[in-house]
Amino acid sequence: MILCAEEGEWLCFAISVVPRASRTQIVGEREGVMRVRLAAPPVDGKANEELVRALAKFFDLPLRAIEIRSGHNSKRKRVCVAGVCRAAFEAKLQASKIA
């Protein structure tokens, strides 16, 4: 199960990314951290942009509802999503067979 915390209107959780994958996809969970493969390279913020787009699509939210709070230059990031409660987050993960 992906560990998450509610911070006001934001739901925050950790993500581990693998840049330069063959395609962008959310692949699952490991040790409480969401795992995401990104087709973009980790150059000039391209991987971060791809991550925000992938999460916005996954949660069906606008890009502005996704923030990378820390780890901009790391494979391990802390991401916050606006407008999603813990129950909706867990339901979305279960429906996608990620959790």
In this structure, the number of other CB atoms found within 10 A of the CB of residue 66 comes to 21
- pLDDT for position 97: 78
- pLDDT for position 99: 58
- pLDDT for position 32: 92
Q: Which residues of the chain have pLDDT under 70?
A: 99
Handedness of CA 47, 48, 53, 54 (dihedral sign): positive
- pLDDT for position 1: 85
The CATH number linked to 64 is 3.30.1200.10
- The boundaries of the domain holding residue 80 are 4-95
Q: Tens digits of per-residue pLDDT, 79-92?
A: 999 999 999 999 98
DSSP label of 55: H
- pLDDT for position 98: 74
Number of domains comprising the chain? 1
Question: What's the CA gap between 97 and 53, in Å, rounded?
Answer: 20
